Amino acid sequence: MVLIQRRLPPGPESQQRGWAGSAEWAGAGGRRRDWPAAGAEGRLLEGRLRSHGCGRPRPGRALAEATAASSMAVSNIRYGAGVTKEVGMDLQNMGAKNVCLMTDKNLSQLPPVQMVMDSLVKNGINFKVYNNVRVEPTDRSFMEAIEFVKKRAFDAYVAVGGGSTMDTCKAANLYASSPHSDFLDYVNAPIGKGKPVSVPLKPLIAVPTTSGTGSETTGVAIFDYEPLKVKTGIASRAIKPTLGLIDPLHTLHMPDRVVANSGFDVLCHALESYTALPYHMRSPCPSNPITRPAYQGSNPISDIWAVHALRIVAKYLKRAVRNPDDLEARSNMHLASAFAGIGFGNAGVHLCHGMSYPISGLVKTYKAKDYNVDHPLVPHGLSVVLTSPAVFTFTAQMSPERHLETAEILGADTRTARIPDAGPILADTLRKFLFDLDVDDGLAAIGYSKADIPALVKGTLPQERVTKLAPRPQSEEDLSALFEASMKLY
């Protein structure tokens, strides 16, 4: 256990939240050990500390119940150009006899799917293709996939595509393994019941073809819940793919806007997980590790992945967008997607993602360039990045050094920067980054106006699983102001 230094500068807000001046975890290598075990000393301390974060005692609660810890859950992953050829052997090694290959219509005509099918045929694997995945899936499209797989007793799954395909496949595997569950049973509360998954699932091999979601590493499946027109999801370590095959050759087929938008998803996964509420301040603190959520708050393990992913984004995203043949840049972005996935899959994301769900769910007529679909669509990565300048201006006061550090990684000269300017500096750096990559000029450019703000706020409120991980609490007025500030970027 290491000593976690307090990030919050002393000030009225930190005092109000009871955070200033107290000691965090200490252990081998830590400098102080003023966090006693339960007992007389613990109770004494309990009386003195009044904060409610995870790992901090509430009055009347035994310290032993409140363990602030961070852990890392991740799929097995394998990386390399051409590694997809091994998928048939992997399935053979798993003893699979009846495999579902899931993808979307567009990809079913493209080389990544062909490469997977060749390997399955070569290794004598019996399989059926489901290519009806909806790009940006909905509850209805999830249910169609679930119906398809329920009838066919598959013993393994291969998902070939972006987040839309991987997430649909995770949901299909889950509900086929739990056939009597209602759809909302496993959906995140408060929209669904958020039940823990206790049934065993079949093996799922994920072959990502975009460089964005990191879904090959996470236990998360996101969809648009049409009755409320907001995105939500299923989050459980149990639905993590068994294996992610990260093959950079697939990225060479991606059109440039798909590279850009999925790259913005990596950018926001990294920035949000690095700036999320620290894990020991999240509450409630689980009394049993099985109830610790996948999204634990920023922590020393996820930080490593987030920062490394951000460095790759800074170095390679522009190159990857501008030159389809730049295998070095596209390969690195493919890895960054998995790295940021490992980071946010354990730490969580916060406001850009929480606010993005109504931005994509309430889409009117916007059609994204390069997305080969027949419905209006705000791609996920675009929906998260458009609010990023406003969000990080808002959150910077809670961990200004981290905001400055990320601005520097993204190219800002911070040598003479003042700590109170951390937010605006990161926001300006992001604006420049987005401008250079031809991103639409804010929410207004994708069809929203001031009149939509109440609906956008209303759609953000149920996203508390992520919004409560924001380092700074936010009121409805704050959310309105963040949407308003995101109407125009440049």
Ligand X SMILES: NC(=O)c1ccc[n+]([C@@H]2O[C@H](COP(=O)([O-])OP(=O)(O)OC[C@H]3O[C@@H](n4cnc5c(N)ncnc54)[C@H](O)[C@@H]3O)[C@@H](O)[C@H]2O)c1
Sign of CA dihedral 377, 380, 384, 386: negative
Closest residue (Cβ) to ligand X?
A: 163
Q: How far apart are CA 317 and CA 260, in angstroms?
A: 7
Based on CB atoms, which residue is closest to ligand X, 116 or 254?
254
Q: How many residues does the chain have?
A: 490
Q: How far apart are CA 97 and CA 346, in angstroms?
A: 33
Residue in this structure with the two tokens 């823990």, named with its chain if needed = 196
Residues 164-203: x where in contact with Zn ion by CB under 5 A, - otherwise, as a string: ----------------------------------------
Q: Are 100 and 158 in contact (CB under 8 A)?
A: yes
Q: Are 96 and 328 in contact (CB under 8 A)?
A: no
Closest CB 434 distance from ligand X, rounded Å: 17
Per partner kind, with CB cut-offs from 5 to 8 A, the member of Zn ion, ligand X, none near residue 164 is: ligand X
Q: Are 401 and 395 in contact (CB under 8 A)?
A: no
Based on CB atoms, which residue is closest to ligand X, 63 or 254?
254
Which listed range, 18-26, 180-188, 264-272, 360-368, lies at the site for Zn ion (CB under 5 A)? 264-272
Closest CB 267 distance from Zn ion, rounded Å: 10
Closest CB 282 distance from ligand X, rounded Å: 19
Based on CB atoms, which residue is closest to ligand X, 225 or 279?
225
Task: Map residue 135 onto helix, strand or coil.
Answer: coil
Per partner kind, with CB cut-offs from 5 to 8 A, the member of Zn ion, ligand X, none near residue 163 is: ligand X
Based on CB atoms, which residue is closest to Zn ion, 356 or 399?
356
Which listed range, 33-41, 242-250, 260-268, 290-298, lies at the site for Zn ion (CB under 5 A)? 260-268
CA angle 428, 429, 434 (to 5 degrees): 95
Per partner kind, with CB cut-offs from 5 to 8 A, the member of ligand X, Zn ion, none near residue 258 is: ligand X
Write the CA distances from 45 to 17, 28, 49, 386, integer angstroms: 17, 21, 6, 44
Binding to Zn ion in span 204-223, by CB under 5 A: none
Q: How far apart are CA 155 and CA 206, in angstroms?
A: 15
Q: H/E element holding 222?
A: strand 220-225
Per partner kind, with CB cut-offs from 5 to 8 A, the member of Zn ion, ligand X, none near residue 216 is: none
Q: Does 265 bind Zn ion (CB under 5 A)?
A: yes
Which listed range, 72-80, 224-232, 265-273, 404-412, lies at the site for Zn ion (CB under 5 A)? 265-273
- What is the contact surface with ligand X in residues (CB under 6 A)? 104, 106-107, 110, 112, 135-137, 161-165, 167, 209-210, 212-215, 218, 220-222, 250, 253-254, 258, 262, 265, 371-373, 380-381
Based on CB atoms, which residue is closest to Zn ion, 100 or 239?
239
Q: Are 455 and 381 in contact (CB under 8 A)?
A: no
Q: Which residues pair with 224 in a beta bridge?
A: 138, 231
Q: Are 25 and 33 in contact (CB under 8 A)?
A: no
Based on CB atoms, which residue is closest to ligand X, 253 or 318?
253
Which residues are near Zn ion by CB under 5 A?
265
